[in-house]
Amino acid sequence: MTIRHLEWPTVTGTGARSGGGTSDEVMREVARRRAAILTDADHGTLVAMAASVVVAAFLFEQDEQGTMVWLTIRLVASLTMFVLIRWVRRTYAADPHGAIDRYTLIAGLGSTVWGLLPVLVRPSEPQWQAIVVFALVGSLGVVATGYSSETRVFVAGSAPMIVISLVAIATYDSAYATVLCLALVLTAVYSVVLFRESNVRLTEMFVADIRNEHLLGQLEQNRTDLREINDRLHGMVDRQSMTLEERDALIAAVSHDLRSPLAAMSLMADTLAQRGSMMTVEQRQTILERIAGDARHAAEVLGDLASTQRLGVQDVLATRSEIDVVRLVEQSVAAQATEQHQVRVGVVEVGGAPVVADPVLVRRILDNLIGNARKHTPPGSRIEVGALRRDDHVLLHVDDDGPGLPEGLRDSVFDAYVRGTSATTRPGSGIGLFLVRTFAQLHGGEAWWEPSPIGGSRFVVSLPQ
């Protein structure tokens, strides 16, 4: 989980500064929001057009020609500003600094036109001159609040108006010209104060909003990270629980599988030691064969246990080479043959291209499948081992004519520690078929169960070629 550390700037003056330096990310977002406010002011130009008409209606009787000239210029300028603002919003949507630069020029155009009011309209009566100043004061108030997001735009929108108007009003032929100029100056000072306060509050609001957005994003990321960690912990707990359960199952299975043959071998060895001289050759041979069978079974259990441990640390790889399938099948059948079962070689047809696989793992697959069939079929059952080539796969299969596999086990029989109901007195540890499937997967193949043509179960392993 990675949490980024952000330095949030404190607002001083008209900009955002931080004790450790300017946050470029925050400043870019502030510039974008300032530009969004400015370039969204196109409807304000329509309001300015309406205000221009109202002002012209008041002053028309005092100076018809000047009023009409100024109104015409004002309306043309307002429409031009409207079009330019729309163009800036469309063209500089991804460039806030460029949008602010263009809007500064647009604001300068509007300010110059408003400043022309006392130049073109020159009423002689003091009350009408006061109306001109009142119109300029109202315009300054609108500029101070409407352009409060950017200093450059405020200066461009107010300075030309103030300078041009002061010069024009100072030339009025009236004793009140000085008072009117002073009123305009005081209004300009107030508009600067109003702009500054509005700018600071607006910038603070921008930074606070950006900070909240970042904190919300960070919170959501933290929630996501915590969910991932929580899921990972749950997975670890589940795996640990499964590991403990599997260990207990393995210990119980191995203990059971080893206890019986070891006890039997111990008993039969004691019998031979104490009464061997009184037995016939056939009796001693029978006991020795039983001891050898029990020892072989114990070796199988320990071999499966070792293979499972190696799989747990991923220490098993399939080393491919050309193999003699017929020979491997015959060797496995000979090693697994007993008097209790009719274990024999079935149909083996893998002619054509050489069979490529890991000979050690293939032998383990055959041994485990035959051993599984012996454990889960009654004495006298028939077990046949065969192999066929099917397209680009070699299929190894072991058939038996035993009771088959219950439906409830057909999907899980290859899972670790799953043990079916045995028809013999030698239950398995539950890892033999698991190893069969795992060894098949190491070759890129698979293992499955299907009904046997001879009446019981058929376990099949596919080995891709």
- pLDDT tens digit sequence for 121-140: 998 888 899 999 999 998 99
The per-residue pLDDT for 420 is 59
Q: State which of 166, 193, 223 marks the end of a domain.
A: 223
- The partner residues of 289 in beta bridges, in order of sequence, read none
**CB count, 10 Å around CB of 220?**
10
Its domain, for residue 348, covers: 321-464
- Looking at the fold, whether 396 and 421 belong to one and the same domain comes out as yes
Q: Which residues of the chain have pLDDT under 70?
A: 1-23, 39, 238-260, 297, 300-318, 417-430
Position 139 in a domain: yes
The per-residue pLDDT for 9 is 40
Q: 350 and 389 in contact (C-beta within 8 Å)?
A: yes
φ/ψ of 396, rounded to 5, equals -95, 135
What does DSSP assign to residue 353?
S
- Looking at the fold, whether 204 and 131 belong to one and the same domain comes out as yes
Q: How many domains does the chain have?
A: 3
Position 4 in a domain: no
- Looking at the fold, whether 62 and 123 belong to one and the same domain comes out as yes
Position 271 in a domain: yes
- Looking at the fold, whether 213 and 111 belong to one and the same domain comes out as yes
Q: 166 and 118 in contact (C-beta within 8 Å)?
A: no
Q: 180 and 129 in contact (C-beta within 8 Å)?
A: yes
The per-residue pLDDT for 2 is 36
CA 77 to chain centre: 53
**Three-class secondary structure of residue 390 per DSSP:** strand
Give tens-digit pLDDT for 257-299: 566 677 778 888 888 888 877 888 888 888 887 787 777 767 7
The per-residue pLDDT for 228 is 84
Q: 9 and 26 in contact (C-beta within 8 Å)?
A: yes
